[in-house]
Structure 1
Amino acid sequence: MQGSLWADSQKQEEQPKAPEIDLSELESLFSTSAATDASRADKGGSKRGTSISKSETVHLIDMRRANNCEIMLTKIKMPLPDMMNAVLALDTSVLDIDQVENLIKFCPTKEEMEMLKNYNGKKEMLGKCEQFFLELMKVPRVESKLRVFSFRINFSSQVKDLRSNLNTINSASKEVKDSLKLRQIMQTILTLGNALNQGTTRGSAVGFKLDSLLKLSDTRAKNNKMTLMHYLCKLLAEKMPELLDFHKDLHHLEAASKIQLKIVAEEMQAVSKGLEKVEQELTASENDGAISMGFRKALKNFLDTAEADVRSLISLYSEVGRSADSLAQYFGEDPARCPFEQVTSILVIFVNMFNKARDENARNAEAEKKKLEKEAMKEKQNTSGK
């Protein structure tokens, strides 16, 4: 730069003269190691050249992602080509759902694929993650195929669980509507209500709201020792004891009360959408060439049974929808305002309160019996003593 020491040194007339240097002395003092190294290189051949040309691993992918990818690959414990063969064969005996989900997580992005496509160096110098990505990139739409594989693995258990839940809902609805014992208990409760409301506008009711069942344990007698639920159980025990075990008619009620129809609908939609994705990938893979031949064959075999399963499931789902609505209508309720989940929840609470009151009545009766027996024994002893 102008004005610098080095710019000024260009002006020879102003430059102070440097002392004369004895080059032989300088070399003997400071160039020994360099000369020796040169000599060694000449004698030993390629040692020095090897250190310069030593190959190093090339990392193109973000180091954190690459490290996580390598950790994931250690858990698969098989050569990459074997792994991809298992994916293309939809072989569930080789890869499980966790491994497939991890492979999906580490599918290369568009940017990463472009980076690898534009790499001009030796493939062998790339890191494990980069080599893994290159292996995945050999398969057209590899992420879509992996998602199809994931759906294939989950399908059987997903359909099984859905069918089980739908059958439970159907069974619970049928059991409630078919139970003559429950019907008689409902009629008894209506009769009690009309008797209590005698002389009022509510004294000639032909039915009651379902949530009124929950008020039976809140309505207490004047002496505060008994609730209307206790009285109902007492009345039935005396007049119609065969009704006390009505809960045995309702085997599926409690299980059905834990099923949310909204979640069932979402799962049904997920299965249908998943099957659509499978069909789309099957069509798209027609143009893949030889690499997808085994994949297409395995996918066709899966679709043959899967489509039939889903059709059957959709039919059952429609039937269950009608069955669930009919349960609310059976109690005179509007399904829109009192959906299946609410009906079953109320009935489960009612059953539990009924059984609790029935058992308490039995314990109190037993205690009263023992008390009377004790008093009678005491009276007898007093009489004999006189």
Structure 2
Amino acid sequence: MSAATPSTARRVSARVGAISESATLAVDAKAKALKAAGRPVIGFGAGEPDFPTPDYIVQAAIEACSNPKYHRYTPAGGLPELKAAIVAKTLRDSNYEVDASQVLVTNGGKQAIYEAFAAILDPGDEVIVPAPYWTTYPESIRLAGGVPVEVVADETTGYRVSVEQLEAARTERTKVVLFVSPSNPTGAVYSAEDTEAIGRWAVEHGLWVLTDEIYEHLVYGDAKFTSLPAVLPELRDKCIVVNGVAKTYAMTGWRVGWIIGPKDVVKAATNLQSHATSNVSNVAQVAALAAVSGNLDAVAEMRVAFDRRRQTIVRMLNEIDGVVCPEPEGAFYVYPSVKALLGKEIRGKRPQDSVELAALILDEVEVAVVPGEAFGTPGYLRLSYALGDEDLVEGISRVQKLLAEATD
């Protein structure tokens, strides 16, 4: 066989070529494109608050634009004043005391997740990933050389995995367990007792834990957020916290997240970032400083609206024959099972999986939802209720009418 020539050799590396497009962003992009073309599409795809960023945060950014101090390079690991504010915010909100040297400011939560995995994983290391999972987790693990190992929970347990399930998935190659509460895509929230039990299991087996706390302030009813390293000090030397301003302060486009972890890991991740992107935009960092330093009044107002929408969407979805929608306790997503609808005839088609059902819903009633395949569990749909009340009711009403036509 002749050697490959430049024209026949692989054009895209195997590592990057294996990455799947973000399903949630793809659905959101398609919905926006259709809407721009004049179609009355209602999108439940992206996890993005419909509220504007609070005025005091925007004003801080405007002032930063006029300050020459922020027109220059700043430390790759983050503005010192922002890192200090993140330390104070973490103590205030999580009762977790850390030092500024344990903080790395990143370009959003996605960069934080990738850099955290890249800093601790060697090729072949396994990461236990509870499913349903956010689409970025397994891709970040693979990019960092790791192997995601899925542990699936369903609606019968409120989408929460047990220590027994985690133990069954553990092997001699397991290095990290991913812990997310409140969860994207399900809205599941672990109790303090279950959180501590999972942490103690990790300590017992010498595992790292990466815990994503981005939805910490979005919990409802009697549910309470629990920060794992705060309740289990023994874990702190092998725990990495990922967080950011996107969801709490309606700042998805500002792109500011952070890592909190052991000093050596944070230093390694900072070195990586110094070559990948250098510092986060200074204007965005100043905005984040205003956000985390301020009170939580604006957050509380948004949470009231999310809670109202949560109750509405759960009620309306459960009115549909064949749909089972548990009530989420956190974040701003519902994750209903639609297994009973698969294979049924709807307007001349018989969707065999949730990908086909989501496509049918978009084509027939112009409502964009994300199929469960994107989150590792076929047979479900994820809908974000971080959109206006009127759009929410109109969109789910369209879905109700469509799915009411399902026949054997």
Normalised TM-score (structure 1): 0.18
Asked which structure has the greater RCO (Cα within 8 Å, sep 6+), the reply is 2
More strand by share: 2
Normalised TM-score (structure 2): 0.18
| Higher gyration radius (CA) | 1
More helix by share: 1
